[in-house]
Structure 1
Amino acid sequence: MSSSVAGPDCCGGLGNIDFRQVARWEQKTRQLSRAFGSPYLACYSLGGVILLLNVLRSHCFTQAMLRQPKMEGLDNPAAFCLGLVLLGVGTLFVLSSFFALGFTGTFLGDYFGILKEARVTTFPFNIVDNPMYWGSTANYLGWAVLHASPTGLLLTVMVALVYMVAVLYEEPFTAEIYRQKASRSHRRS
């Protein structure tokens, strides 16, 4: 892929779809569930698309860093070790939250009506809210520090800001659906 093609493909197109909007549309209409014949199949399909686009985003992030000059102040063994630690912590948060939530819990299953028995509060959720987002941010930051990349640092800030906006929308929604579920369960008892 030439650099002239890689830039627009990574910065635009499908990578910029707000999947929460797709999921909210699904919650209101159930069109994806009907089209796929199952909310689980629809959720797995959307999750697969999200995963593939995350791979593309990570590739583009790396390419952007490698095409830019390094930051001399970060190009040293201590910063390299810090980058490794950030990657380790980020990976721990991402993987442990994925294992705690499962595939459908990670990839917007609550919008498809696929809920856990209760909101997950075990590790890593007992350490930090939204560990998937902050773990991913730590991974990008660690990768940027490992590569001594000012471009990577700037892109990491952009990723963190997008995640902060996502939390503003997702937190109230998640709290409300689990409140409604608890209310329905309490009435049945």
Structure 2
Amino acid sequence: MLFLLFSLDCCEGLNNVDYSKVARWEHKTRSLTRMFRSPYVACYCLGAVIMLLNFLRTNCFTEAMRSQPRLNVLDCLVGYYIGVAFVVVGTVFVVSSFLVLGFVGTFLGDYFGILMEAKVTCFPFNVLDNPMYWGSTIIYLGWSIMHASPAGFLLTAVVALCYTIALLYEGPFTEEIYRQKANRRL
């Protein structure tokens, strides 16, 4: 049980909220840009930290599922393939959004002053708002089904909650950054 509680924090905690706070701090002070002498280098470094922590989160998630009991009703070939289908769908959303946004667009580049020309509206953004976050959540749900893991379902709910909280920070702030950009053009 102690490992499950650790995994709740390790799995997601408030990481995305923390990234948003760091990004807002950067937007306000440009401290990382000054420290790294480039908004691109600063953004790449923050992105690398986010990726490394995501690898840790994935490992913690997997270990929590392996160490907990399984649901007999899902512990079958059909359950496994349903989980695989979820993982594939989630991966399509995550990878396609990364390809559309690029590294800088994915890892909070707009907070570093690296703005896209316009709001992205092509696939997957025309199907789902925030496809990176919700695709990741779908992947975690798929893993949970594949492993027939009640702990995985709980952790997936924590991931979804944390992404929802992060979007409360990111969504309006990003809209404001692009509104300011549009006003400067006028």
Match of 1:69 in 2: 69
Q: Quick check: 1:114 aligned with 2:140?
A: no
Bigger drift between 146-155 and 172-181 goes to 172-181
CA distance in 1, matches of 2:43, 2:175: 20
> Structure 2: which 5+ runs fail to align?
none
Q: Quick check: 1:144 aligned with 2:144?
A: yes
Q: How many Å apart are 1:173 and its aligned residue?
A: 1.1
Q: How many Å apart are 1:169 and its aligned residue?
A: 1.3
Superposition map of 1:4-83 within 5 A = 8=6, 11=9, 16-17=14-15, 18-83=18-83
Q: How many Å apart are 1:7 and its aligned residue?
A: 7.3
**TM value normalised by structure 1:** 0.90
The alignment yields a C-alpha RMSD, in angstroms, of 2.1
Change (3 A) 1:5 1:89: closer
Equivalent pairs counted in the alignment come to: 183
CA distance in 1, matches of 2:83, 2:102: 28
CA distance in 2, matches of 1:112, 1:61: 30
Percent sequence identity over aligned pairs? 59
Q: How many Å apart are 1:10 and its aligned residue?
A: 7.8
Q: Secondary structure at the match of 1:134?
A: helix
One-letter code of the match for 1:57?
Answer: R
Q: Secondary structure at the match of 1:46?
A: helix
Q: How many Å apart are 1:168 and its aligned residue?
A: 1.2
Superposition map of 1:118-133 within 5 A = 118-133=118-133
Q: Is the 8 A contact 2:8 2:155 kept in 1?
A: no
Match of 1:155 in 2: 155
Q: How many Å apart are 1:80 and its aligned residue?
A: 1.0
**TM value normalised by structure 2:** 0.92
CA distance in 2, matches of 1:5, 1:84: 26
